[in-house]
């Protein structure tokens, strides 16, 4: 039942991630543009250049606010990562417990070290 829940959560997260790829790319492009505009704004000495870059930066900022659904996509990517990590953790722990002949020895040794 635990695997089914992980599979269901991973499927939903993958669907949401795929549906928000467009806004994620738009947000990435607008953030990169804002970064370069800000760097040029700090380098510019003239008042007219600063005003122009400020107006362009404001327009790009408004465009980046349009891509707010990308945050949902980023959260879905994180959920997908957690599902992947949990899925592999349960698989690896079962393999280690089944194949490791020294696991019982290590448990008993740690118990002895406590005393």
For the chain, percent of residues with pLDDT exceeding 70: 84
Residues 6+ apart with CB under 8 A from 52: none
* DSSP single-letter state for residue 45: -
pLDDT at residue 64 greater than cutoff 80: yes
Q: 85: number of CA atoms within 13 Å, CB side?
A: 6
CA distance 43 to 39: 6
Domain boundaries, the chain: 2-114
Instruction: Name the more confident of 32 and 4.
Output: 32
Contacts of residues 89-95 at CB distance under 8 Å and 24 or more positions apart, as own/partner, are 90/2, 90/3
Asked if pLDDT for residue 89 goes beyond 80, the answer is no
Model confidence, pTM? 0.64
Contact 58, 2 (CB under 8 A): no
């Amino acid at each position: 039942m635990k695997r089914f829940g992980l599979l269901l959560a991973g499927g939903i997260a993958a669907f949401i991630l795929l549906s928000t790829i467009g806004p994620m790319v738009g947000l990435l492009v607008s953030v990169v543009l804002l970064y370069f505009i800000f760097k040029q704004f700090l380098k510019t000495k003239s008042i007219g250049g600063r005003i122009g870059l400020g107006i362009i930066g404001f327009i790009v900022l408004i465009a980046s606010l349009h891509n707010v659904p990308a945050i949902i996509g980023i959260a879905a990517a994180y959920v997908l990562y957690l599902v992947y990590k949990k899925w592999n953790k349960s698989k690896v722990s079962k393999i280690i417990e089944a194949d490791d002949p020294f696991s019982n020895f290590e448990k008993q040794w740690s118990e002895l070290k406590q005393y």
